[in-house]
């Protein structure tokens, strides 16, 4: 009979749950629990929980809670984010506390929350804020027993959005001379405060070393530039908030001018008894100051300096001068030209026409003699021309030399030259020298000679000192045969 009340209670529970399931308009209710004597009734599992709720559930009720975090400050305030830092509560009642930061905009009751990323962290950065806006922040610590006290609210205002000027419109740059450029612009369209001044940036195109000038108005002329050179210019407006947005670069080339240097590497080649070929290279690129449009070639008999002939040469780098007198020395010089005029001339360079028209259908013969005179660091080479120099053209000589071989280095000299000094050699070294005459057909048969450079003076003096120094015999242990004065032999 004692089991009947228990069965009755269990039956009542089942009937109640069935009636709730059959009522369509009734939401499901939590399972009721009837405490009947001697009967244990199972319950449904708890619904799913969020991480925060689970943390609260995991907390052990009844334990001590943390006090409020201390010294909450805004360590970094920007236009759209704020970084908060704080110290551990005075009464933590646990280790590895977690923290929650609650914040709201001034005038609004709704709070948002930001959790620290890991236990024990004492800072958090609040993102996505509005510029120039007041916010209130408070921090709460949490231990294994639950959420503790809140810190006092901290009032912080985000920074205002910096209103710097926009780019200056209608930037123009115009060459005003070969060494200056005039630059102008207009006031930026977006106000953002009064413009205090402008900074004009410029540099030689591709150079990479930008220079700047402070300008108070809306135009400026930059001077001291290179002639006929491209420059880039840009402008930045500045107000009380700082520099604004830069304009795009504009590129302009300074005006051209006459060349500031003479043509380079002018050479003369005697072609016959009545013709000489003149060749040259343009002035260095940085000195041309414009597009080279031609050259002036001037020549004269060296003996008659007042009678000068001039030929205008198109943009080419050689000119054959014909109709000259036989066996006569002529001098030549060249001038480069731009549309602005002529630049400086080369020095006068002279050569003789042949006495007769010589043969250049074959190479010259071997030089008739070769002599060498060695020094410590050099060798003086002298020679005489081939015996058939009056029949076959000789345009120059090729001198080869090296340690034990003449093929290491080669030097070419003019056909008039009869000696040459080979420099920067090693002392006391054996060198082999070759000499060949050449013309436009090629090089002739070489003539060889060898020489040993002299010893260095210090080495020679040292050797002489060792040879002629008086010889003094030395003993390993002079004590047994020659005791020192005042000493005693051991007994």
Residues 74 and 145 in one domain: yes
> Which of the two residues, 38 and 86, has the higher pLDDT score?
86
Distance between CA atoms of residues 340 and 377, nearest Å:
51
Maximum distance among all Cα pairs of the chain, rounded to whole angstroms: 158
Which tens digits make up the pLDDT trace of 354-383?
A: 888 888 889 999 999 999 999 999 999 999
* pLDDT (mean) for 21-44: 39
Specify the pLDDT at position 490.
Answer: 45
pLDDT band at 471 (very low <50, low <70, confident <90, very high): low
Tell me, yes or no, whether 488 lies in a domain.
no
Average pLDDT for 330-334:
96
Q: Can you give the pLDDT at residue 164?
A: 82
From 101, 130, 157, the end of a domain falls on 157
| DSSP string computed for 340-390 | TEEEEEPPPEEEEPPSS--B-SS----EEEEEEEE-SS-EEEEEEEETTTT
Q: Is residue 49 part of a domain?
A: no
User: So what's the pLDDT on residue 460?
Assistant: 59
Query: Is 61 contained in some domain?
Result: no
Report how far Cα 409 is from the mean position of its chain's Cα atoms: 38
Contact assessment for residue 453 and residue 427, using Cβ atoms and an 8 Å cutoff: yes
| Residue 436 pLDDT greater than 50, yes or no | yes
Backbone angles phi, psi at 385, to 5 degrees: -70, 170
What is the separation of C-alpha 173 from the centre of its chain, rounded to a whole number of angstroms? 28
Nearest-angstrom CA–CA distance, 170 and 231: 18
Pull the structure tokens for residue 12. 């009542």
Residues 294 and 230 in one domain: no
User: With contact defined as beta carbons under 8 Å apart, do 308 and 332 qualify?
Assistant: no
What does the pLDDT look like over 222-243, one tens digit per residue? 999 999 999 999 999 998 888 8
Q: Look at residue 470 and tell me if it is in a domain.
A: no
Where is the domain boundary, 157, 186, 207? 157
Q: What total number of domains does the chain contain? A: 5
Q: Is residue 152 situated within a structural domain?
A: yes
Nearest in space to 376 (alpha carbons), one of 263, 429, 454: 454
Q: Read out DSSP for 146-204? A: EEEEEPPPEEEEPPPPP----PPSS-EEEEEETTEEEEE----SS-SS---EEEEEEEE
Residues 425, 371 share a domain:
yes
Q: Please check whether residues 139 and 177 belong to one and the same domain.
A: no
Are 335 and 377 contained in the same domain? no
Per-residue model confidence (pLDDT) at position 161: 77
CATH number, domain of 327, equals 2.60.40.10
Share of the chain above pLDDT 70, in %: 80
Residue at 151 is within a domain: yes
Residue 17 has pLDDT above 60, yes or no: no
Q: Which residue has the higher pLDDT, 78 or 235?
A: 235
Task: Give me the pLDDT at residue 75, please.
Answer: 87
C-alpha distances in angstroms, 97 versus 65, 117, 312, 445, 449? 11, 12, 94, 99, 96
Do 437 and 364 meet the contact criterion of CB atoms below 8 Å apart? yes
Distances from the Cα of 244 to the Cα of 160, 195, 198, 222, angstroms: 16, 10, 9, 22
**pTM for this entry:** 0.50
Which residue range is the domain that position 211 belongs to?
172-253
- Whether residue 407 is found in the same domain as residue 338: no
Q: Of 253, 274, 293, which marks where a domain is finished? A: 253
Q: Are residues 151 and 97 in the same domain?
A: yes
Cα–Cα distance measured from residue 96 to residue 93, given in angstroms and rounded to the nearest whole number: 10
Mark whether 248 and 275 lie in a shared domain: no
Q: What's the pLDDT at 26?
A: 40
Which three-class secondary structure state does DSSP give residue 406? Answer: coil
Residues 172 and 185 sit within 8 Å (Cβ to Cβ): yes
pLDDT, tens digit, for every residue of 254-276?
Answer: 999 999 999 999 999 888 889 99
Mean pLDDT over 104-108 rounds to 92
Q: Could you tell me if residue 433 is inside a domain?
A: yes
Is 472 inside any structural domain?
no
- Same domain for 193 and 219, yes or no, is yes
Do 378 and 441 belong together in one domain?
Answer: yes
């Amino acid at each position: 009979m004692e089991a009947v009340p228990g069965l009755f209670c269990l039956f009542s529970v089942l009937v109640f749950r069935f009636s709730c399931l059959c009522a369509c308009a009734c939401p499901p209710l939590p399972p009721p629990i009837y405490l009947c004597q001697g009967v244990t009734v199972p319950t449904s599992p708890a619904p799913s929980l969020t991480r925060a709720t689970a943390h609260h559930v995991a907390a052990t009720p009844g334990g001590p809670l943390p006090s409020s975090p201390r010294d909450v400050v805004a360590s970094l305030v920007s236009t759209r984010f704020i970084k908060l830092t704080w110290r551990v509560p005075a009464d933590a009642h646990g280790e590895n506390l977690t923290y929650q930061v609650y914040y709201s905009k001034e005038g609004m009751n709704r709070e948002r929350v930001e959790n620290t990323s890991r236990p024990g962290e004492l800072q958090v950065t609040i993102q996505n804020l509005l510029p120039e806006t007041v916010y209130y922040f408070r921090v709460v610590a949490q231990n294994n027993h639950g959420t503790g006290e809140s810190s006092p609210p901290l009032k912080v205002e985000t920074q205002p959005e910096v209103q710097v000027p926009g780019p200056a419109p209608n930037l123009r740059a115009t060459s005003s001379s070969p060494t200056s450029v005039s630059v102008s612009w207009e006031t930026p369209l977006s106000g953002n405060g009064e413009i205090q001044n402008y900074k004009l940036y410029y540099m030689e195109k591709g150079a990479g070393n930008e220079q700047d000038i402070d300008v108070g108005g809306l135009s400026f002329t930059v001077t001291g530039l290179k002639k006929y050179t491209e420059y880039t210019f840009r402008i930045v407006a500045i107000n009380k908030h700082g520099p604004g947005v830069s304009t795009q670069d504009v590129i302009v080339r300074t005006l051209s001018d006459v060349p500031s240097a003479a043509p380079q590497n002018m050479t003369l080649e005697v072609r016959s008894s009545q013709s000489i070929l003149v060749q040259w290279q343009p002035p260095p690129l940085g000195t041309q100051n414009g597009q080279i449009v031609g050259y002036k070639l001037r020549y004269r008999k060296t003996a008659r300096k007042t009678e000068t002939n001039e030929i205008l040469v198109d943009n080419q780098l050689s000119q054959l001068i014909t109709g000259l007198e036989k066996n006569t020395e002529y001098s030549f010089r060249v001038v480069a030209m731009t549309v602005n005029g002529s630049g400086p001339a080369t020095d006068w360079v002279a050569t003789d026409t042949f006495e007769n028209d010589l043969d250049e259908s074959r190479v010259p013969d071997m030089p008739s003699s070769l002599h060498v005179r060695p020094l410590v660091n050099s060798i003086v080479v002298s020679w005489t021309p081939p015996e058939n120099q009056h029949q076959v053209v000789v345009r120059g000589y090729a001198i080869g030399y090296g340690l034990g071989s003449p093929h290491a280095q080669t030097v070419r000299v003019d056909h008039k030259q009869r000696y040459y000094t080979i420099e920067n050699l090693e002392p006391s070294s054996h060198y082999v020298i070759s000499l060949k005459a050449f013309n436009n057909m090629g090089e002739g048969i070489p003539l060889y000679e060898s020489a040993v450079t002299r010893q260095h003076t210090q080495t020679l003096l040292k050797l002489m000192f060792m040879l002629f120094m008086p010889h003094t015999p030395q003993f390993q242990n002079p004590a047994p045969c020659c005791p020192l004065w005042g000493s005693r032999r051991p007994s």
